[in-house]
Amino acid sequence: MDHRLGAGATLAQQAAKRADMPLERIQQRFAASASLRRRAVLPYFTSGFPDASTVEAMIRRADDVGATVVELGIPFSDSIADGRTIQRSFHDVLKQGWTVEDTFQLVARVRPRVECALVAMVSYSLVWRIGVQDFMNRAARCGFDGVIVPDVPVEESMIAAGAAGRADLGYVGLVAPTTTSARRKLIARSSTGFVYRIAISGTTGERTDFRVDAMNDIDELRDAAGAPVCVGFGISTAEQVGAACVVADGAIVGSAIVRRIADAVDAGQSMDDLVDTVGGFLSELITGAAHTA
């Protein structure tokens, strides 16, 4: 058994104590994936894209096929790291008048129907506008298990991370390829739930030249955080998921999923057909993660 499966057993013991709490649910889901001898797959959906009912159906399908964590991006007009595909989804949803409260209500409806962990990807501007502690409390009450706030540098993250901790939410830090060793350790130590290792410099989006040979900091991050490390940005195929999961505990896939949703909408697919399309793709990705176990 490799060291990650051993870590999974420890997480399972921790999760068993308080499995109904948000942060523990993240830990429990990583442990469950490890018990199936596969790495974690973390799909990303844009909240409200193309509509609330479809997003709820896609989250349920993701849970059915074995997603460990579902990331739900809360639309924002000035996101700093999202590429064209996700920006388009944000634009379309914001035109419909979608709000943070709509996301909270969506999660409250779907939470009792799924076992996967749910993590919000949200700009600090939206968190600050509502009130940092109020946002975290409401996120936890509706059913989120963690938050990713990509536009807060670690030196300024104590307020957000502290508020998340008081709400028993996981706080997921992001580490870039250019991050120095000292800052990597600082970000990892401030993270709970898991650490988000960005695979490439630049914005989100599908890549054909995805490589993991330069990711020699995964063990360092895992040791500093005492939590799993997942790789995202640029991962768009089952083969790339497998490559990422050779070195990391999981793979995050966003733009490739959102692009398929947009293509299905443009093609006039029904909701059922769209969900089947996304579900089939997620099954392929999870197969890629299983091949690395």
Per the domain annotation, does 189 fall within a domain? Answer: yes
Q: Are strands 229-232 and 146-148 parallel, antiparallel or unpaired?
A: unpaired
The CATH number of whichever domain residue 81 belongs to comes to: 3.20.20.70
Per the domain annotation, does 132 fall within a domain? Answer: yes
The domain tally of the chain equals 1
Query: What are 31-52's pLDDT values in tens digits?
Result: 999 999 999 999 999 999 999 9
Per the domain annotation, does 206 fall within a domain? Answer: no
Query: What are 245-287's pLDDT values in tens digits?
Result: 999 999 999 999 999 999 999 999 999 999 999 999 999 999 9
Per the domain annotation, does 204 fall within a domain? Answer: no
Listed residue (120, 184, 132, 135) closest to 158, CA to CA: 132
Which residues are CB-neighbours of 236 under 8 A, at least 6 positions away?
206, 207, 210, 253, 255, 256
Per the domain annotation, does 205 fall within a domain? Answer: no
Per the domain annotation, does 107 fall within a domain? Answer: yes
Per the domain annotation, does 272 fall within a domain? Answer: yes
Q: Is 181 helix (H, G, I), strand (E, B) or coil?
A: helix
Per the domain annotation, does 93 fall within a domain? Answer: yes
Instruction: Tell me what pLDDT residue 202 has.
Output: 46
- Residues marked active site are found at 71, 82
List of the chain residues with pLDDT < 70: 1-21, 79-83, 200-215, 291-293
Domain enclosing residue 265, as ranges: 3-199+211-290
